[in-house]
Amino acid sequence: TYVDDFTDLDCSQQFSARIRRTWTATDGSGNRSTCIQTINLERRGINNVLPPTDVTISCSGNINTNPSATGAPYFSAYGQNWLILPTIGQCEIQSAYVDQVLPTCDGSYKIIRTWTVLDWCLPTKPDMPNQNPRYYIQVINVQDNTGPTIACPANLTVSTDPFTCCGSPNLPDVLLEDACSRIKSARARIVVRDPVTNEVLATHELDASLQNF
């Protein structure tokens, strides 16, 4: 087993923090021995911060634009990317962001996310090099790339007039649904065929009326 003793170090120190990890080994007879491991947390300055990448997500379902899902400024070290989230700083580096929502078309929009990253261990400086804080623009595209779904009614058999072979059936409604956008238009196409030869006798196209619920 082990127990950690965490010490936060100030900006004058070489490392950001230090962990004293006390390991304890116990055998079957209850005999114990311990050792202490020191883990130094390397400080990463603001010059090592990498900007977040632009992302595209779907508007359907639960839209998650939280930085833990869409990305944030980060460090790259030891084969991993370490996000600098607003609630979790990294090595005296802290971040915050502001969103602006810009509509593009019905169901789609862009989020212009402006990040501010501050290094607590450096004085504020408006220009490069060693600018502090740093500002990054991330574009989050929320797109409607899926068409509406159609709930087709069941097949229908109707009777015709015995003298004219014509009928006037009451066709059932067709249910349309879209996850993001309003249904703009719907078009119906009726094809009349000879039941024996399957020859097309007539074709009718009409714009269907839409009713919102």
The tens digit of pLDDT for each residue in 46-96 reads 999 999 999 999 887 788 999 999 999 999 988 999 899 998 766 789 999
The pLDDT of residue 211 is 65
CB 188 within 8 A of CB 206: yes
Q: How confident is the prediction for the chain on average, in pLDDT?
A: 88
Which DSSP string do the residues of 115-158 spell out, in sequence order?
Answer: EEEEETTS--BSSSSS-BSEEEEEEEEEE---PPEEEPPPP---
199 token code pair: 């020859």
Q: Worst-scoring range by mean pLDDT, 35-39, 82-86, 115-119?
A: 82-86
| Long-range Cβ contacts of 161-169 (<8 Å, 24+ apart) | none
The tens digit of pLDDT for each residue in 142-172 reads 988 778 888 888 888 888 888 887 777 887 8
The tens digit of pLDDT for each residue in 185-208 reads 788 888 888 878 889 888 888 777
CB 126 within 8 A of CB 138: no
Q: Which of 106, 101, 121, 147 is nearest to 49 (CA)?
A: 121
78 token code pair: 């030891």
